[in-house]
Structures are given as structure tokens and as C-alpha cells.
Amino acid sequence: MDLLRSLPLGLYLEQPQTWLHKLDPRVKIAWLMSFLTSYTFANNEWRILLVVLLIIFTLIARIPRRVWQQQMGWLLTLSLFILIIASISPDGLGISYQPRLPASEQVLTQPANADNANVIPESARGNKDYSYILFHQGPVKVTRRSLDLAVRLSTIIFTVIYSSNLYLLTTAPEEITTAIESLMQPLRRFKIPVTEITLTLTLSLRFIPLVLEEVQNLIRSVMTRAINWKKLGLKGAVKVWMIVAERLLENLLLRAEQMASAMMVRGFTSPNEHQVKWHQLRLKARDWLAIAILTLFWGARLVLGNLA
């Protein structure tokens, strides 16, 4: 079991360098926030389009298949299960619905009285093809509202998780730090410690692989001991995993202490005493092209993606 390969969350792909790697990190942050915010108050067609765009970006960027295949497959499977379960779940309204038109067609076709009191206008007859319940077979019932909620829930899970992971996959932690620090410069006027915040973010991103590595080593150590879980029982198994969790916490605290000591030795005592230029930010032609496409993206969102 190799968590660093089977679950590449928060890991940066150094090679090969794709066109997504070469984009300015600030532009990629703008695209990431656009994916995360354009979902709000959007119709289901736009939500599905976001999922399709993320898959297309992954394919045309020529990211190695071994990197995204398993994670995308798990996310798509999870989204599909959520779509199915939410579709057949009660929609929460709890109302017995009746058809908009009467069962007898004679009510609509009978002649009008002299005062036209019983005349039903053509516009009030509604659509005969409309049905709130889309599928009903035994205990399984799919309504328009349950399907709408299912699409919303499944697409937002895929969009939020995969868009964030795609950004971390193609952007180095140092580039993320520099981009966020550049975008947060106006906050310095309010005496907000921007440098400390961005440095903490960089350390957090660097710490993710260390956590996965420690978890992987502890799981391997438990597997190599060939523990007979049936003889241990539930109480014994819980006790073993509590010991593993305690050991994991100790190892992570030791790693954090080692990292802090290494930073202090190198002079990381305050931002004024140790300034580090993480990455040189400069917008190039491809970045301006990405900004222009982002403008078209939001134009399409305002025109096509609004709720009816």
C-alpha cells in the first residue's frame, strides 16, 4: 500500500512540466476561485459543464495518466453514488402531488356557458407532458426536486475536490505562497502579518506528504506483524489502533519540532530579518490569454448559467 501514489492529495507534480505548470500562479488562483464561486446560484447545466471542463483541462494538459486516473475515478464513482442515493431519497417536501389537469378531458372541452364562467383559457391548461414524479417503481421514486438536489450535491463534491487538487498538482508550494502574498499586499495597511500567514501556508503544504508518509509507515508496521484481529476482538482492535494513533501524533510532533529547529538555524526568526524571494511573478502572453478566456468564462456564466 503506497499512499503517496494511490492518494496524491496536495502533492506537486514536478515532471513533466505541462502548460498548466507554466501559467502564473495568480492566474491559476483566479481560475480556481472562478470554479468555486461560479457554482453559486447556477443551473444544473452549468454545474455539469464545470465537471466536464475540469476533465477536459486534465486531458489537454497531458498530465500523466497514472497521476490522475485513480483519483478521478474515485471521485467520479463517489459522485455517481451520491447522485443515485440522493435521487431516490425523499425530496423533503412531504406533499401528495396531484396532476394539474383533471382526469376527464370533457372538463376542458365542454362548451362554455353564456357568462363564460366555465371557460378555461388555453394558457391555463398547462403542459400535458409535465410530471413532477419522473420515475416511480415500487419503493423507488425520483422526483424533479430530488434529482435537482442530487445533481447539485454530486457536482459540487467533484468540482471542489478535484479543482483544488488540480491546482496543487500543477503549482509548487513556493509559487502558491508568492501568489497569495502578492494578492494580500493591501492587507499590510491594516497591520495583518501577511508574510507569517503565507509562510505558515507553505509549511502546511509541505507537511501534507510527511503526514501521508507517517500514516503509510505505521500501517505497514501493523501489517508486517500479522495481527490476528479475530482473537483480539473489538476492544483489542480499538486498543491497537489507539496506540497507532498515539504513535502517529508523536511522530508528527517530532517532525514539526525538527522543521522548526531547521528554520531557526537558517535564520527564520522574523520576516524582517530573513526575507526569502520564493518566486518571481511576471505575466506573460499565455497568462494574458488565460485571463481573456476567464473573462469569456464569466460572460458565459452570466448569460447561460443563471437559474431560470
| Dist CA 72 CA 14 (whole Å) | 19
- With a CB cutoff of 8 Å and minimum separation 6, the contacts of 62 are 16, 18
Q: Which of 91-105, 217-231, 251-265 has the lowest mean pLDDT?
A: 91-105
pLDDT band at residue 47, thresholds of 50, 70 and 90? Answer: very high
User: Of 143, 175, 171, whose CA–CA distance to 280 is shortest?
Assistant: 175
Q: What's the pLDDT at 111?
A: 53
Q: What's the pLDDT at 118?
A: 45
Q: Tens digit of pLDDT for each residue in 179-213? A: 888 888 888 888 887 777 777 777 777 777 778 78
| Dist CA 55 CA 49 (whole Å) | 10
pTM of the predicted structure, to 2 decimals: 0.70
Quote the percentage of the chain above a pLDDT of 90: 17
Radius of gyration from C-alpha coordinates of the chain = 28
DSSP codes of every residue in 135-166: EEETTEEEEHHHHHHHHHHHHHHHHHHHHHHH
Q: Does the structure show a pLDDT above 70 at 109?
A: no
| Dist CA 188 CA 183 (whole Å) | 11
Burial of 112 (0-12, 13-18, 19+ CB in 10 A): exposed
8 A C-beta contact, residue 24 and residue 291: no
Average pLDDT along the chain: 79
